[in-house]
Amino acid sequence: MKLTLAFTDPDACRHELSGGKGANLALLTQRGFPVPVGFIVTAAAYREFILSAETLHSRVAAFDYADAARLQAQGTQLRAEIEQMPLPAALEASVRQQLAAFADDAAFSVRSSSTFEDLASAAFAGQHDTYLNIHGADAILERIRACFASLWQDRA
C-alpha cells in the first residue's frame, strides 16, 4: 500500500487512490502539461490515519443532527481531536522521503482531494481546507493532518 505517490507515478492517475484533484494533476503532469511538481498523499494514508480514531464511527452516529448548534459544536470538538492525533509513522516517513527531492526552501500547497471529487456526477470543490505557501516538512505534515480533519468541517 502506497501512502504517497509522485505526480509521475502511473498509479497517481487513479481517482480512488489520489482523489479528483490529485489524479488530474498527475494526468496533466504525465501528459506533459506545465504543472508544478508535487506528490499525493493517498486515500490509503487517510484510512490508516483514521483507524486510530477508534470511537469515530460511534461518535458520529451519536451526533445530534436535529440541533444545528449542537451538531456544529460536536463537529468542532471532533476536528480538534483529529488534529491532535499523530500521523502514522510510515506516512510521516513517506512524506519526508518525497520532500527530500525538493529544495529546503520550496513552498507547497497542501490541499484535500476527495475520491468523490471531480466526478461526472459529483463535485465537492471548496468543502475541504487548502493551505498555500507552506514551507518545511513539519509544517506540511501539520497541514496534512488539518486537511484530514477538514473532512469533518460543517460545510463538508
140 contacts 106 by C-beta, under 8 angstroms: no
pLDDT digits (tens, 9 = 90+) for 58-67: 888 888 889 9
- What pLDDT does 110 receive? 94
Q: Specify the higher pLDDT residue, 25 or 64.
A: 25
Helix H segments across the chain?
15-30, 43-50, 56-61, 68-84, 89-99, 137-149
Question: How confident is the model over 123-139, as pLDDT tens digits?
Answer: 555 567 889 999 999 99
- Our separate counts of H helices and E strands in the chain read 6, 4
Residues 28-40 have pLDDT tens digits of 999 999 999 999 9
The residues that bridge with 111 in the sheet, in sequence order, are: 130
What value does the mean pLDDT of the chain take?
88
pLDDT of residue 14: 95
Give strand pairing partners of 40: 5
Q: What pLDDT sits at residue 123?
A: 56
- Between the alpha carbon of residue 16 and those of residues 8, 49, 95, 101, 119, the distances in Å are 17, 17, 19, 25, 11
Cα dihedral angle (73, 74, 78, 79), rounded to 10 degrees?
-30
Residue count of the chain: 156
